[in-house]
Amino acid sequence: MTGHAVTAAIGDPARSRRTYTVTARITVHADLADPFARVAVFRALVDQLTAAPLDLDTPFGAASARVGLVTAVSGPPAAKSKRCVRRPHPRPYKARTVGCRRSTVYDGGRSCRSPIPCRRPPVTHDHVGVMLDALLSAEVPGGYASVRRDRYDVVLDHTFRDVTISPVGVDVATFTFGIPGVYAHICVDSGGDTYTVGVFATDVAYNVQSAGHVVAFTTALDAVACAVGEVRRHLFRQERGW
């Protein structure tokens, strides 16, 4: 709450030619969300402000002061939204899209073709990481382990991220063809909305398909259930010697 001015006339009013205005900022610590409570607090504060002149006695002489309520507000005014203002820059530098409108960027600033406020692009987050964490939260049967894996390919300069599901005892990092065992890896497709399941066994590696097309799983539970089923099927084949 701000805006209470205190005016003090220094010295004898009849002889002094100067007056000084002292502006004080008064902060009220109270819950002002309720409008009725806000009015009550304002009225109680105004009642504390005396309307009679104050006679002050200082070592440098007498003074009189008058306290007058100028204004009372519950908080700072709301900030106005910034709008793009067309500026007369003669040389355009490049064009780019801001929000849903196309704007032209100049050497000295930016002008917008639309009077609506410019919107910043949405804040990006690790959507793939969130979907991979959903896989880790899905339960796997006893004797199986699900682990997050990040692999950096130097040739492609790309980091491949997936979740592996393997029987206990299978070292995914060193597993290759000819070694008994099997594991499944689940990754997020390029669109970032579905999962694909791959299998790496001792004699074969493939992606789970249906009718010649890679199956896209929409939920983490379905992808984990498919991966566990594929691993069990290959372990059964290896035990039977097929």
Q: How many CA atoms lie within 13 A of 181 on its CB side?
A: 17
pLDDT at 43: 74
Question: How are beta strands 54-58 and 20-24 bridged, if at all?
Answer: unpaired
- The span from the CA of 103 to the CA of 143, in Å, is 58
Q: How many CA atoms lie within 13 A of 154 on its CB side?
A: 0
Q: Give the predicted TM-score (pTM) of the model.
A: 0.48
User: In this predicted model, what pLDDT tens digit does every residue of 187-199 receive, in sequence order?
Assistant: 998 777 899 999 9
pLDDT at 58: 76
Q: Is there a contact between 181 and 200 (Cβ–Cβ < 8 Å)? A: no
pLDDT at 188: 94
- The span from the CA of 166 to the CA of 105, in Å, is 53
> Which segments of the chain have a pLDDT < 50?
1-16, 74-78, 81, 92-112, 114-115, 117-118, 120, 123
Task: Give the dihedral of Cα atoms 142, 145, 146, 149; nearest 10 deg.
Answer: 180
pLDDT at 242: 73
Cβ burial, residue 153 (10 Å; 0-12/13-18/19+): exposed
pLDDT at 227: 97
pLDDT at 53: 72
